[in-house]
Amino acid sequence: MKSLRHQRAWISSVVVLVLAASAESSWGQGAESHAKPRVELSVRSWLFTAGETRWSHDASGLDPRLGDPTSKLVYKDNDTQIIELGGRVNFGRRGFLRAEGGFSVSFDRGLLVDDDFTAVTGQQIFSRTHSDITGSGTQYGSLDLGFRAAEFSGSRGYVDIFAGFQYWRTRYEATGVRQAICNPSGIPGLSCTPNLNLSGVIAITNTTHWITPIRIGVDTEYRVTRRVSLDLKASVSPISVLYNEDVHHLRSDLQQDPSFSMWGVGVSANAGAGVKFSLSGNLALTGGYRVMWNRTYQGEWENHPIGGGSDKVSLTEFQTIRHGVLIGLTGSF
């Protein structure tokens, strides 16, 4: 009996060890295939994104009657849906190459607020107009080269470091003009039209280009369970180059290719947090939230009147931001 009890205890111990080893092996295999696939392909939808672009310039040095800022435009509440495609190739033990690109599939909401300021009786708005935002939307792309800097114990996750290039383009159309504030005596020689309400006409086309030649970032993922993991991704750049074109279609005194142009140098930052749920060994459902942001710290504004003789003044601010929820699928091979 004693021998039988010993045999049963020994068999039970072996079974427990085998099951534990099997579970550990299964975790390790799942984590290993999750951490080091040869190729990863993804498709994501950037839902419920909100975007805003704002800029202003100071032309008070050309005419002391003009305010500082002289003009301020805000393209706000711009909601759009973006489809994003991505691919990643892992090479060697730690290296990887990653490319991502996105484009908007709907772009028909938002408001342009166009303010002009006078300094005749102190800084104040002498004209404010509203226009509805339409347009061809936003597109962006990035290319990163990176390496695996660290792995968490038990194959539960990793930390990647990367550097790369990013391009971001946004094109707005401002349709209609509604005068919200009008002070005709604000600047002698310049006027606005009280109760102006033009509809169905394109007033302004604005195209913004942000070129980030080098950005540095970190990407980390931690597996909470065999199927669920959390991830964080962030990148920054102290140099992001802006070029912006503004066409004012209703201004007969300005050229139309463009009417105003802006150059600038600024900073950029991207950040995102998400969750990944493994559906199988090769397919995962992803979700999260992302923010993309660029802002100038130095720039120049230039007008292009009919007949030449353009003026150049300081671009006091130019900023673009977009943020929203993402959902998608990732396949690993």
Which is higher by pLDDT, 25 or 189?
A: 189
Tokens of 56: 């202003």
Mean pLDDT score, 137-143:
95
Residue 47, pLDDT score:
82
pLDDT in tens, 151-201: 999 889 999 999 999 999 999 999 999 999 998 766 666 678 888 999 999
Amino acid 2: pLDDT: 38
Residue with tokens 């942000």: 210
29 vs 27: CA distance, rounded Å:
5
Residue 14 pLDDT grade (very low, low, confident, very high; cuts 50, 70, 90): very low
Tokens of 317: 């601010």
CA distance 13 to 152: 30
pLDDT for res 121: 77
pLDDT value, residue 186: 63
Residue listed under structure tokens 């021998």: 3
% of the chain residues with pLDDT over 70? 86
Q: In this model, does residue 23 exceed pLDDT 70?
A: no
As a whole number, mean pLDDT of residues 123-138 equals: 88
What pLDDT does 26 receive?
Answer: 38
**pLDDT of residue 106 exceeding 60:** yes
Burial class (CB in 10 A: 0-12, 13-18, 19+), 309: exposed
Residue 85 falls in which region: left (phi positive, over 0), alpha (psi -120 to 50) or beta: beta
Burial of 30 (0-12, 13-18, 19+ CB in 10 A): middle
Write down the pLDDT at residue 137. 85
Q: Residue 42 above 60 pLDDT?
A: yes
Q: Is 225 helix (H, G, I), strand (E, B) or coil?
A: coil
Rounded distance between C-alpha atoms, residue 84 and residue 243, angstroms:
24
Please count the CA atoms within 13 angstroms of the CA of 200 that sit on its side-chain side: 0
Mean pLDDT of 138-143: 96
CA–CA separation, 107 vs 114, rounded Å? 20
Residue position matching structure tokens 């150049």? 312
- Rounded to whole angstroms, how far apart are CA atoms 254 and 306? 5
Q: Supply the DSSP symbol for 153.
A: G
N-to-C CA span, the chain: 54
pLDDT in tens, 226-285: 999 999 999 999 999 999 999 999 999 999 999 999 999 999 999 999 999 999 989 999
Give the integer Cα–Cα distance in Å for 34 and 200.
Answer: 53
The per-residue pLDDT of the chain, averaged, comes to 87
Task: With a cut of 90, say whether residue 86 has pLDDT above it.
Answer: yes
Instruction: Note the pLDDT of residue 4.
Output: 36
- Looking at the predicted structure, is the pLDDT value of residue 295 above 90? yes
Span 59-85, pLDDT tens digits: 999 988 899 999 999 999 988 899 999
